[in-house]
Amino acid sequence: MGRYSIFAVAAGALGGNRGWRPAWRKAVPKPSYEVVIVGGGGHGLATAHYLAREHGITDVAVVEKGWIGSGNVGRNTTIVRSNYMLDRTVPFYEASLKLWEGLSHDLNFNVMFSSRGVINLAHTPAQMDIFTRRANSMMLNGIAAEMLDVAGLRRRVPLLDVSPAARFPVVGAIHQARGGTARHDAVAWGYARAADSRGVDIIENCEVTGFLREGDRITGVRTTRGDIRARKTAVAVAGSTSQVMALAGIDDLPIESHVLQAFVSEGMKPALDVVVTFGAGHLYISQSDKGGLVFGGDIDGYNSYAQRGNLPIVEDVASAALAMFPAFSRVRLLRTWGGLMDMTMDGQPIITTGPLPGLYLNCGWCYEGFKATPASGFTFAWTIAKDEPHPLNAPFRLDRFRQGRVLDEKGRGPYPGHH
């Protein structure tokens, strides 16, 4: 696999651009691997990359039922940040942000990470107190955070309606300048290409339909392209977690699947150069480099595995967008779509060995999974390679729900209005 560089682009141009190779091979399944990863989303592919790069484990297959990027990794609203509050969650998301900052170089693939800043709006003095506490907690963990008042917001986001007569008057905000966005499908392609270049087999159109087992031990997977044996089987299927784990006889995970929709407008000239989230009215919005407004709101309130949206949510989110940004009233909506969210009850993920011997589980990403992709892959690879958690994912055990040691990061999780 040649390296991508300005010289490669120049050589390609001189050669009529006929020499480009596919970014990853169309691998066919071998009968057995050391590690099989179920799910070719961001987390599965990142895990494969770090298994190969950090632990030298390259006898790995990523088994994906559709195509790479067909799941949430290619459907999210691309927000990346580490403005969390708990001492047990902040280091994980901050490690992820640090990996984002070097990811394009690390993968030799432009993931278009843009640290344009993330602003979370507060609408009451009480919410401002909570954000101030969060900013203090971030700073105690060595992460810069800034509080903005209304005048500061008016300067930073001129199109935002901060007038007292607004539908949801704004009193201030917390701002993480290093947060931002990345191009979501490039993340999938970049990790896929990097993993493939180290020998990982990426097997698309290959659905896992069951697990191979010897007694309690999982020894591989049944797929639509035949059985594949594995010394270690790792599951990273996000919104399909309950369905896939039920195939292994695990049907009591603390996870619900819900649909979350995203929206993109027609392209416009630059109008919004920061991510704005508006928890009180259910909106987060940014402008992509292509010019479209990318925005989203809440999950649907009921459980579902249908990967599609519905009109009431479109109306709800569009009206929230216009309440905050009246200037966007004549912008036309171009596309909407839905993704499947794996919601845990405390809003934090599960990255663990087990719950059966030979099995490893990565799930429960709620609204946080895209920003977490690098750290999730890094720590899951560690967990698989060493059969124990990395210190960063040690709090994300499955048995915390049984023991009542939930990670109660207020303002996260499957509650309306939080992102």
Nearest to 117 by CA among 50, 177, 193: 177
- Residue pair 174/147 in contact (Cβ under 8 Å)? The answer is yes
Q: Which is nearer to ligand FAD, 325 or 370 (CB)?
A: 370
- Which residues touch 111 (CB under 8 Å, ≥6 apart)? 100, 103, 104, 182, 183, 186, 187, 190
Sequence-separated (6 or more) residues with CB below 8 Å from residue 94? 82, 141, 142, 143
Applying CB under 6 A, the span of 42-50, 51-59, 100-108, 405-413 interacting with ligand FAD comes to 42-50
Cβ 228 to ligand FAD shortest distance, Å: 11
Q: Is 262 in the site for ligand FAD (CB under 6 A)?
A: yes
Q: Say whether residue 49 binds ligand FAD (CB under 6 A).
A: no
Least distance in Å: CB of 284 to ligand FAD?
7
Query: Please, which of residues 99-138 interact with ligand FAD by CB under 6 A?
Result: none
C-alpha span between 30 and 238 (Å, rounded): 25
Q: How many CA atoms lie within 13 A of 381 on its CB side?
A: 25
Verify binding: residue 367, ligand FAD, rule CB under 6 A: yes
Stretch that binds ligand FAD, among 64-72, 95-103, 149-157, 311-319 (CB under 6 A): 64-72
| Nearest residue to 414 via CA among 326, 363, 356, 341 | 341
Q: Binder to ligand FAD among 71, 172, 180, 347 (CB under 6 A)?
A: 71
* Residue 72 binds ligand FAD (CB under 6 A): yes
Question: Per rule CB under 6 A, is residue 349 in the interface with ligand FAD?
Answer: no
CB of 154 to ligand FAD, least distance (A): 25
368 binds ligand FAD (CB under 6 A): yes
CA-CA distance, 193 to 200, in Å (whole number)? 9
**Which of 57, 107, 118, 238 is close enough to bind ligand FAD by CB under 6 A?**
238
Q: Does 310 bind ligand FAD (CB under 6 A)?
A: no
Residues 6+ apart with CB under 8 A from 10: none
203 forms part of the interface with ligand FAD (CB under 6 A): no
Cβ 393 vs Cβ 387: under 8 Å? no
Encoded tokens for 364: 């429960």
CB of 292 to ligand FAD, least distance (A): 14
User: Is 283 in a helix, a strand, or coil?
Assistant: strand
SS3 call for 265: strand
Largest CA distance in the chain: 66
Q: Smaller CB distance to ligand FAD: residue 162 or 340?
A: 340
Q: Which of 39, 281, 292, 355 binds ligand FAD (CB under 6 A)?
A: 39
Q: Is 299 in the site for ligand FAD (CB under 6 A)?
A: no
Residue 341 and residue 400 in contact, taking contact as beta carbons nearer than 8 Å = no
Task: List Cα–Cα distances, 88 to 23, 79, 316, 371, 406, in angstroms.
Answer: 37, 21, 34, 16, 11
Note whether 409 binds ligand FAD by CB under 6 A: no
Is 42 in a helix, a strand, or coil?
Answer: helix
CB of 232: closest distance to ligand FAD in angstroms? Answer: 16
For residue 77, state whether it binds ligand FAD (rule: CB under 6 A). Answer: yes
351 in Cβ contact with 235 (< 8 Å): no
Please identify, using beta-carbon distances, which residue of 106 and 207 lies nearer to ligand FAD: 207
Query: Could you say which of 34, 106, 207, 227 contacts ligand FAD (CB under 6 A)?
Result: 207
Q: How far is the CB of 221 from ligand FAD (least distance, A)?
A: 8
Q: Does 283 bind ligand FAD (CB under 6 A)?
A: no
How far apart are alpha carbons 39 and 43 in whole angstroms?
Answer: 8
Is 143 an interacting residue with respect to ligand FAD (CB under 6 A)? no
Minimum CB distance to ligand FAD, residue 18 (Å):
31
214 Cβ neighbours under 8 A, 6+ residues apart: none
Q: Is residue 296 a contact residue for ligand FAD (CB under 6 A)?
A: yes
Nearest distance from C-beta of residue 224 to ligand FAD, angstroms: 8
Interacting residues toward ligand FAD by CB under 6 A: 38-44, 63-66, 70-73, 75-79, 207-208, 236-240, 244, 260-262, 296, 339, 341, 365, 367-371
